[in-house]
Amino acid sequence: MGSGSSLIEVVQAERQQEGGTGRRRFVIRVTGELDINHAGDLRDALHTLVAGAEAPAEIVVDLSNSSFCDSSGLNALLDGRLAALERGHTVSLAAPSHQMLRLLDLTGTIDLFPVGPAVD
């Protein structure tokens, strides 16, 4: 644990809401391990998006290429979610692994994040 590599990539895409109003959608792609050595990168990416995005924005954390998440990674997600909610944004998880879903379940945080499929 903690010896793997991680890459955090932020992608912006436009998405239309019902009624034709534009809503910004940001995707944060996590590759590798989301552990104590890399959770700060995710926390920084989330806070940068939250601070700079005009509300309401949708922030999707795509975990389809993430192999592991520990409590520091979970704390980064929870911290980013709270900051996002305070500014009128939403945070959801895309394609979390079984291990990640188990971590969310064991910690009682599974209902805090909408979960969806991987983002193209």
Per-residue pLDDT band for 31 (boundaries 50, 70, 90) equals very high
Distance from the Cα of residue 112 to its chain's centroid: 12
Per-residue pLDDT band for 70 (boundaries 50, 70, 90) equals very high
- What is the pLDDT, as a whole number, of residue 10? 78
Looking at every residue in the chain, the average pLDDT score rounds to 88
Average pLDDT over every residue of 68-86: 97
Neighbour order of strands in the sheet with 22-34: 6-16, 22-34, 57-69, 90-94, 115-116
Whether 6 and 37 have beta carbons less than 8 Å apart is answered as yes
Write down the residue that tokens 């895409």 correspond to: 13
Q: Quick one: the chain helix, strand, coil %, rounded to 5?
A: 40, 35, 25
- What is the pLDDT, as a whole number, of residue 13? 59
Ramachandran bin of 95, using left for φ above 0, alpha for ψ from -120 to 50, beta for the remaining angles: left
- What is the pLDDT, as a whole number, of residue 9? 84
Per-residue pLDDT band for 85 (boundaries 50, 70, 90) equals very high
